[in-house]
Amino acid sequence: MTRAIGRVNIVGIAIALLISSAGLLAYQALSLRSALTADARLQAAMVSANITASLMFHDVQATTEILRPLANVPYVESVVVFNPKGTQHARYARAGISEDEANEGTLSRAMVRDHFTLSDVFVATPVIHDGETLGTVVLVASTEGMVQELGRYAGFLIAACAGALWVSSVVTSRMKARVFAAEQELAYLANTDPLTDLPNRRAFYEALAARLRPGCNERLALILIDLDNFKIVNDTLGHGAGDELLRSVAGALRAAVRSTDVVSRIGGDEFAVLAVDDADRHGSRHTAERITTVLARSFDLHGAEVRVTASVGFSQFPGDAADVASLVSSADIALYAAKSSGKNVAVEFMPQMTTDAQRRARLERELRDAIEQDALELAYQPQYDCQTGRLVGAEALVRWTHPTDGNIAPMEFVPIAENSELILALGQWVMRRACRDAVRWNTEARNPVGVSVNVSARQLREPRFQRDVLDALNEHALPADLLELELTESLLMANMAVAVNVMKQLRAEGIRLSIDDFGTGYSSLSYLQSFPLSQLKIDRSFVKALPQAGQPIVTAIISMAHSFGLTVVAEGVEYPAQLAWLRDAGCDIVQGFLTGRPISFAEIVQVVRKADGSAAATDCRIE
């Protein structure tokens, strides 16, 4: 394109110069000719004045003498003096001219008017004395000098034009170079991710579309990669480290695939690989798994060791999809499956997943309606003091009875809500309902029983979260110390900076905070110190193994939690032997099917009343 611009420019300038030069040359020729004609007329008039007497006396000799000095006027080629009858009286011809040239003046005696040819200008002047015409002087002036003059002028014009063309070609080629560089820059920006230098989303999808053209029988695998813990790096080590990590991951990915494969960064911490020529399922699975392995390692970010893992989803062309859109959505569905199956894994797309994804999409829509229509409910699972058996609290657990599908487990719909903004509305609904219910079950209670509410990571990130919680408390006048928020380890880790801040403010209001599902996340025991927690809930999976196995770890958790001043809740207590062991191990609170399943609001009201009635008696409520 730039070359074309350059060519058009130079040709345009040359044509413009040519036209203006031709104009100047023509103008110059006209003005030189009229100057020559004026000079010739003047000479002819002078000759005519001088030869009056000699013509009158027919003295040819004298006329010839008078004409001779014309040799000093270089442009005068010949002069012929005619008498009135038209016969020649005398003539002058410049030395050295040909006979033909010398006779030109005589040939034109019939002429009455001045005229010119290419090589000569003809001027005729009458010789008049006392009103009587004595004869005519015909003067022939050569245009030779004028032509030479014009030639010089044309030479000058050519030189000037050449100079102008040279200057403009230099300017044009500079401009061309600049336009070319700008074009290159634009193409780079449009197609490249500047951070990693990889093709960006747009370039990747273009490459994908180009490969998947109809009739193409190449086998391809689309591999989507999502970093599992990128947010933690960004939040804890800053964006500089985050960028550094992305660059390192880009490098690791490039090294993990063949040079013919396309690697791209298609979003924040999302990468994509178009693996070409993966002949069989085994091939693309192998590549996807290699990527997972390669990324599950430590990266050195300016001296800080950061461990990352990646979730990988992949789909294949033409096996799983026939066009770009469905190939991408298949890989996306597989990636979702990888993330929800615990991350750090490569998952291959299976047709069944589409059905699952459709169900998720449907449930998401219907859940939105259910929240709006107040169609959800809360179940409450009682929590008992392990030593005294006293009822100390109840955990609110959301329930959804779907009009056609029946009960849908929170393990299914809560993650769906978490994957969209819906979790905010759901969380707010739960918070308000739980506060309302807790106030109701505590009316008339001498020993009020608090409520625990589960909080999702996305909620904590929401700037309004804190205000919403306080609004829910105020709306129903629930004392802050009767509300407990359950936060998961991964939630705290993923939002370290934000989390600590928000938690401190909630704690300052008197709201209690507990860490849920403890032991399933990354958290080291000691890092818990940085959070203003009141309580720790040992995950069900640890309790499940008791008392046969897992005793050392549970003992360690309990003593560590106590040393940090945290109370300990054991979740999922199903057997008396587990309860007995926990009591002996110094656990503070138990919650599980053994002591009480999640029950309706009406039922928990009864449980609270009963517990309150017998509160005076310190005997154990746990049978």
Residues contributing to the site for ligand C2E (CB under 6 A): 381, 396-398, 409-411, 414, 430, 454, 456, 516-517, 540, 572-574, 592-593, 598
What does 88-110 look like in DSSP terms, one character per residue? EEEEEE-TT--HHHHHHHHHGGG
Q: Are 504 and 473 in contact (CB under 8 A)?
A: no
User: Considering CB distances under 5 to 8 angstroms, the limit depending on partner class, which of Ca ion, ligand C2E, none binds residue 598?
Assistant: ligand C2E
User: Considering CB distances under 5 to 8 angstroms, the limit depending on partner class, which of Ca ion, ligand C2E, none binds residue 462?
Assistant: none
CA nearest neighbour of 51 among 113, 137, 153, 109: 137
Nearer to ligand C2E, 233 or 370 (CB): 370
Nearer to ligand C2E, 414 or 515 (CB): 414
Q: How near is the Cβ of 363 to ligand C2E at its closest, in Å?
A: 14
Burial track 207-245 (b if 16+ CB lie within 10 A, e otherwise): bbeebbeeeeeebbbbbbbbbbbbbbbbbbbeeebbebb
Of the candidate spans 216-224, 293-301, 370-378, 569-577, the one that interacts with Ca ion by CB under 5 A turns out to be 569-577
Q: How near is the Cβ of 384 to ligand C2E at its closest, in Å?
A: 12
User: Considering CB distances under 5 to 8 angstroms, the limit depending on partner class, which of ligand C2E, Ca ion, none binds residue 521?
Assistant: none
State the residue for tokens 């927690």: 533
Query: CA separation (Å) from 100 to 1, 103, 110, 586?
Result: 61, 5, 17, 141
Q: How near is the Cβ of 380 to Ca ion at its closest, in Å?
A: 12
What sign has the CA pseudo-torsion 538, 541, 546, 551? Answer: negative
User: Considering CB distances under 5 to 8 angstroms, the limit depending on partner class, which of ligand C2E, Ca ion, none binds residue 409?
Assistant: ligand C2E
Q: How near is the Cβ of 574 to ligand C2E at its closest, in Å?
A: 4
Verify binding: residue 348, Ca ion, rule CB under 5 A: no
Verify binding: residue 516, Ca ion, rule CB under 5 A: yes
Single out the residue of 78, 168, 454, 490 in contact with Ca ion (rule: CB under 5 A): 454
Nearer to ligand C2E, 298 or 541 (CB): 541
Q: How near is the Cβ of 519 to Ca ion at its closest, in Å?
A: 10
How far is it, in rounded angstroms, from Cα 558 to Cα 213? 61
User: Considering CB distances under 5 to 8 angstroms, the limit depending on partner class, which of Ca ion, ligand C2E, none binds residue 596?
Assistant: none
Nearer to ligand C2E, 335 or 394 (CB): 394
Read off φ and ψ for residue 222, nearest 5 degrees. Answer: -100, 120
Q: How near is the Cβ of 213 to Ca ion at its closest, in Å?
A: 51
Contact code string over 472-501 relative to Ca ion, x by CB under 5 A = --------------x---------------
State the residue for tokens 């998401």: 364
Single out the residue of 489, 517, 588, 612 in contact with Ca ion (rule: CB under 5 A): 517
Q: How near is the Cβ of 513 to Ca ion at its closest, in Å?
A: 12
Verify binding: residue 332, Ca ion, rule CB under 5 A: no
User: Considering CB distances under 5 to 8 angstroms, the limit depending on partner class, which of ligand C2E, Ca ion, none binds residue 450?
Assistant: none
Q: Are 338 and 291 in contact (CB under 8 A)?
A: no
Q: Are 383 and 393 in contact (CB under 8 A)?
A: yes
CA nearest neighbour of 413 among 351, 465, 362, 344: 362
Side-chain half-sphere CA neighbours of 586 within 13 A: 12
Nearer to Ca ion, 336 or 380 (CB): 380
Nearer to ligand C2E, 82 or 400 (CB): 400
Q: Are 267 and 201 in contact (CB under 8 A)?
A: yes
Name 569's bridge partners.
537, 589
CA nearest neighbour of 455 among 511, 391, 407: 511
Tokens standing for residue 311: 């979730």
Q: How near is the Cβ of 505 to Ca ion at its closest, in Å?
A: 22
CA nearest neighbour of 431 among 389, 478, 368: 478
Q: How near is the Cβ of 371 to ligand C2E at its closest, in Å?
A: 11
User: Considering CB distances under 5 to 8 angstroms, the limit depending on partner class, which of Ca ion, ligand C2E, none binds residue 77?
Assistant: none
Nearer to Ca ion, 244 or 516 (CB): 516
Q: Residues in the site for Ca ion, rule: CB under 5 A?
A: 454, 486, 516-517, 571
